[in-house]
Structure 1
Amino acid sequence: MFGGGGGGLDSRKMQQMMKQMGIDIDELDAEEVIIKTADETLVFDSPDVQKMDAQGQETYNIVGSPRTEEASELSSGDADAGSDDDEIPQEDIETVADRAGVSEDEAREALEATDGMPLDAIEHLSE
């Protein structure tokens, strides 16, 4: 289909085609990647990570074998100090405050009013 002969595309031609289509791939020197779900945490130690930027949309490709941990094993070490705000992550508070241009207290109140949904909180503050 591509490239004529039986060998397909060589690496250089593939990179040229991707560049023409606005796709850029970078290798990241990642030490660890953590994926948290409600039930478990997947931890990739020394994974191969590629970041692909295709017309402004970033995609990450992770290659490696994760170890699995129960969700509660890491959460106790990652909890924000003094966080008594019904499990609203500090990162969400900071994101809402930054995007909506309000204080963290106002962002926290908006998140509480919207059941912890950052996009809804930003919209709530924009009204």
Structure 2
Amino acid sequence: MGSLVTKISPKSKMASSDVQNFIKGAISQDKVVVFSKSYCPYCDMAKEVFRKVKQPIKVYELNERDDGADIQENLAHITGFRTVPQVFINGKCVGGGSDVKALHSSGQLEPMLIG
């Protein structure tokens, strides 16, 4: 069985408007997008929840990208917070690792994945 996680290769540094366009494009192309850092336990928490519900996700590991800091800075302007992970479902930010875990525990996550 193939992996449910699709990792995206690093990109070169982009201008701010290009980064914002990249983020908007990324979150509109896939049902679940996670902006993550590979060493972050909260990022692992979010990714694990999606593995449990067998939901494919697109992961952007910001610490493995040349433009990761630019993406994180632009995410802060879009979402209002700078921490990772930043999880988007159907183009809408649902928060971070603890938020995704709480959505799953409360039974609210799966209906969001169907819509």
TM-score over 0.5 (shorter chain):
no
Answer 1 or 2: which has greater strand percent. 1
Q: Which has the larger radius of gyration?
A: 1
Answer 1 or 2: which has greater helix percent. 2
